[in-house]
């Protein structure tokens, strides 16, 4: 290994990059006995920070690469395969109207019109022979072509997340869930903070709208729109996933004396069914639902979208059609919560990194992993569920030479309770029919029954519901501000790195408290460095839940970096505006954040790496105490080096992707899971393969007496 280090340093120094210099200087400063750890840390930083996941030796080559390929790798394989005459369903993303030449080519090959035209997204869905993919991609108006892949579904939540503390929090003498504001005339008004008036769109397997969990305070149904995008022409929930997800975000709490109240129990629900009776769907169906949201967002005041579903993240977020659609929604002012996925371990039970699903790999989305509360409301025993997918993101784009450039973003952004969650059960649904033990035995009444499910699907709607509350508390918040506030106030969980938990576990109490302090008079100009809060004194960065106090993260994930400091909340940052995202395009320069040429206000500390264990940051040659990498208990043995593209280097030998680093595994490059199926992120049977207590520990079911609780 010591013979290999000089070669690594020479290569890095000759490269002239920030990281080459960093490696060289770190080695020169460190003691010889720490050579291995410095190299590990420097190269771990490379995983996240080198553009597109290029190895050190390839960096110079990358500077003169040709244009990016315009066809997804799986579609390209079909186009050049032995059966390229087969007709395949594709999604064509356009940057202009189709030309006469492209239409003529399609007509010549039997394509007479599109199956779907999604005007808001500038997308057309067509069936065409795979043999003409290269010809179609050559037209200037074609931005990207990909397969229309299939999609699938992938405690006391309000107590442990702090939502109950928000409801009891008041600045007036009243004891209900209130927010008190003063009008310009000096009149004090009181509003219940429960999501009233906010539209929450749930893209899932449908919704059992007759379930009592979806009634409003006056007894009316809160599902204001129901549409089907699967072709089955039904809007109920025969699969059972969507009702459970929707009630986590916005169930009303009438059952079992509010034991299963959702985060925003009076929000308006928009039921967009994109997963069929077997829990599967298509990319085109998902895109059609997102296109509908863009068209109708103002009519129904849709401010939040929940996507507890996913497909393998193959294409870079810059090209993937779902990611690009999500970005359009966020740019239009809509918060999108996305499940991270449930591929956090392999069949041998080993940790797996790099398996974040699409659209969880989209930087503008709030990507949510699953926390395990072990059935308690207090937070001191919480951890990340072992099945929850870990970063970095492994989606990529391919240049004209065939070289892959990986996105390598830190994901998830947050974690939220997702293990053994009890919530609404759709009558006669497939999940319970095939797995009767999922029924929580809460009620004898069909429209009051509750069921168990686990997964990042259950965690995402917790965040979606929290976003609804933040927007009700302060309607002027942009999606980026909502995301930043949720990360800033999160609780970092000891023993888990940022690839597992992002900023930490959601803290709704802190996020809402901070959101209420954000100025509502910033207008559209929002100058850089303007005072962001209505007070010059930042709030105490601490929350107490169920008797356990914890300190906020006080930082945000910036794509491949971590930013920390009170200026993130005291001064308006340009990355909080519409039309930008918190992480994309952000670079580090002389200690300040630079994004699209705009300098973020001072006082923000930026690191070049990620937090790997108990708050220790792997960056700038920092030595991690006790040789612990990745997370507590996992040691980078034998001086292993982490390089980009998932490659592991040991003793000068390059080892193929997927090799085990201690008990952590890097996901193989370009692996397609479940043949491109978009899945719901629920773990059926509460993740039957789960170990270490994640399955056996959960809140005990509270029996329903059949009488509505109306004090939620």
Strand partners, 221: 215
Tokens 């692996």 sit on residue: 671
One DSSP character per residue, 349-388 reads S-EEES-PPBTTT-TTSEEEEEEE-TT-SSSTT-EE-TTS
- β-partners of residue 414 are 368
Nearest to 283 by CA among 317, 313, 336, 321: 321
Q: Is 584 a catalytic residue?
A: no
Dihedral sign from CA coordinates of 356, 358, 364, 365: negative
Is 457 a residue of the active site? Answer: yes
51/54 Cα distance (integer angstroms): 6
Both structure tokens of 643? 């390089």
Sign for the pseudo-dihedral over CA of 40, 45, 48, 50: negative
Q: Please give the Cα distance from 177 to 158 (Å, whole number).
A: 13
Q: Within 610-655, where are the H helices? A: none
159 CB burial (10 A radius; 0-12, 13-18, 19+): buried
The catalytic residue among 241, 244, 357, 561 is: 241
Please give the backbone phi and psi of residue 136, each rounded to the nearest 5 degrees, phi first: -65, -40
183 classed as catalytic: no
CA–CA separation, 315 and 327 (whole Å): 15
DSSP labels, 158-207: HHHTTHHHHHH--SSS--SSEEEEE-TTS-EEEEE-S-TT-EEEEEES--
For CA atoms 9, 10, 15, 18, the dihedral sign is: positive
Cβ atoms within 10 Å, residue 673: 17
Q: Which residues lie closer than 8 Å to 233 by C-beta, 6 or more apart?
A: none
Integer Cα distance of 391 and 499 in angstroms:
5
In sequence order, which residues have a C-beta less than 8 Å from that of residue 133 and are 6 or more positions away?
A: 71, 75, 76, 78, 79, 90, 145
Choosing from 15, 74, 148, 204, which is the catalytic residue?
Answer: 204
Rounded to 5°, angle at Cα 136 from 135 and 138: 70
H or E element in which residue 329 lies: helix 321-331
What is the DSSP annotation of 510-539? HHHHHHTTB-S--TTT--TT-B-BSSSSPP
Question: What length does the chain have?
Answer: 712
Q: Which backbone phi and psi does 647 adopt, to 5 degrees?
A: -80, 140
> Could you say which of 72, 284, 457, 680 is catalytic?
457
CA separation (Å) from 428 to 109, 238, 432?
45, 7, 7
Number of neighbours of residue 709 by Cβ within 10 angstroms: 16
User: Which residues are marked as active site?
Assistant: 204, 241, 457
């Amino acid at each position: 290994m010591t013979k290999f280090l000089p070669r690594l340093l020479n290569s890095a120094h000759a490269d002239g990059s920030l990281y080459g210099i960093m490696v060289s200087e770190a080695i020169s400063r460190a003691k010889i006995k720490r050579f291995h750890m410095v190299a590990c840390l420097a190269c771990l930083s490379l995983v996240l920070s080198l553009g597109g996941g290029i190895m050190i030796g390839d960096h110079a080559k990358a500077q003169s690469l040709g244009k990016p390929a315009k066809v997804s790798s799986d579609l390209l394989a079909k186009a050049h395969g032995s059966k390229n005459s087969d007709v395949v369903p594709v999604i064509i993303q356009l940057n202009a109207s189709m030309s006469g030449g492209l239409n003529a080519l399609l007509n010549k090959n039997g394509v007479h019109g599109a199956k779907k035209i999604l005007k808001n997204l500038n997308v057309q869905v067509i069936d065409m022979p795979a043999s003409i993919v290269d010809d179609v991609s050559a037209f200037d108006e074609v931005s990207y072509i990909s397969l229309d892949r299939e999609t699938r579904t992938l405690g006391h939540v309000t107590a442990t997340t702090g939502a109950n503390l928000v409801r009891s929090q008041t600045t007036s003498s009243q004891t209900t869930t209130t927010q008190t504001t003063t009008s310009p005339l000096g009149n004090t008004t009181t509003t219940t903070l429960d999501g009233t008036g906010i539209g929450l769109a749930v893209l899932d397997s449908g919704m059992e709208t007759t379930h009592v969990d979806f009634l409003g305070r006056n007894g009316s149904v809160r599902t204001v729109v129901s549409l089907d995008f699967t072709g089955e022409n039904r809007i109920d929930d025969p699969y059972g996933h969507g009702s459970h997800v929707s009630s986590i975000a916005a169930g009303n709490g009438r059952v079992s004396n509010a034991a299963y109240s959702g985060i925003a129990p009076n929000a308006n629900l928009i039921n967009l069914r994109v997963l069929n009776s077997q829990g599967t769907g298509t990319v085109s169906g998902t895109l059609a639902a997102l296109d509908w949201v863009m068209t109708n967002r103002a009519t129904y005041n849709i401010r939040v979208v929940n996507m507890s579903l996913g497909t393998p993240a193959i294409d870079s977020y810059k090209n993937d059609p779902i990611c690009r659609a999500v970005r359009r929604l966020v740019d239009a002012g809509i918060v999108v919560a996305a499940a991270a996925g449930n591929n956090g371990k392999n069949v041998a039970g080993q940790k797996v990194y790099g398996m974040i699903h699409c659209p969880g790999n989209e930087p503008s989305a709030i990507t949510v992993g699953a926390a395990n509360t072990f059935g308690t409301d207090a937070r001191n025993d919480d951890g990340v569920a072992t099945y929850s997918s870990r970063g970095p993101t492994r989606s990529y784009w391919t240049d004209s030479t065939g070289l892959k450039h990986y996105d390598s973003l830190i994901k998830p952004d947050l974690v939220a309770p997702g293990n053994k969650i009890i919530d609404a059960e759709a009558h006669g649904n497939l999940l319970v029919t095939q797995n009767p033990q999922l029924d929580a035995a809460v009620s004898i009444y069909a429209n009051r029954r509750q069921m168990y499910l686990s997964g990042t699907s259950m965690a995402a709607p917790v965040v979606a519901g929290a976003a609804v509350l933040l927007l009700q508390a302060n309607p002027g918040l942009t999606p980026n501000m909502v995301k930043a506030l949720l990360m800033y106030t999160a609780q970092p969980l000891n023993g888990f790195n940022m690839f597992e938990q992002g900023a930490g576990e959601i803290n709704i109490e802190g996020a809402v408290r901070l959101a209420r302090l954000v100025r509502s008079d910033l207008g559209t100009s929002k100058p850089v460095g303007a005072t962001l809060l209505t007070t010059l004194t930042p709030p105490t960065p601490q929350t107490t839940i169920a008797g356990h106090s914890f300190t906020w993260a006080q930082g945000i994930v910036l794509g491949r970096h971590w930013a920390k400091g009170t200026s993130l909340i005291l001064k308006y940052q340009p990355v909080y505006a519409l039309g930008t995202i918190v992480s994309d395009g952000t670079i580090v320069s002389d200690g300040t954040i630079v994004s699209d040429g705009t300098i973020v206000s001072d006082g923000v500390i930026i690191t070049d790496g990620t937090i790997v264990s108990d708050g220790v940051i792997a960056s700038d040659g920092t030595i991690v105490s006790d040789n612990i990498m990745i997370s507590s208990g996992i040691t980078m043995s034998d001086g292993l080096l982490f390089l980009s593209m998932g490659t592991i280097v040991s003793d000068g030998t390059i080892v193929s992707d997927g090799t085990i680093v201690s008990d952590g595994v890097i996901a193989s490059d370009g692996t397609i899971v479940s043949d491109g199926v978009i899945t719901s992120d629920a773990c059926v049977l509460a993740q039957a393969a789960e170990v270490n207590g994640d399955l056996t520990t959960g809140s005990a079911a509270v029996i329903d007496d059949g009488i509505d609780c109306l004090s939620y």
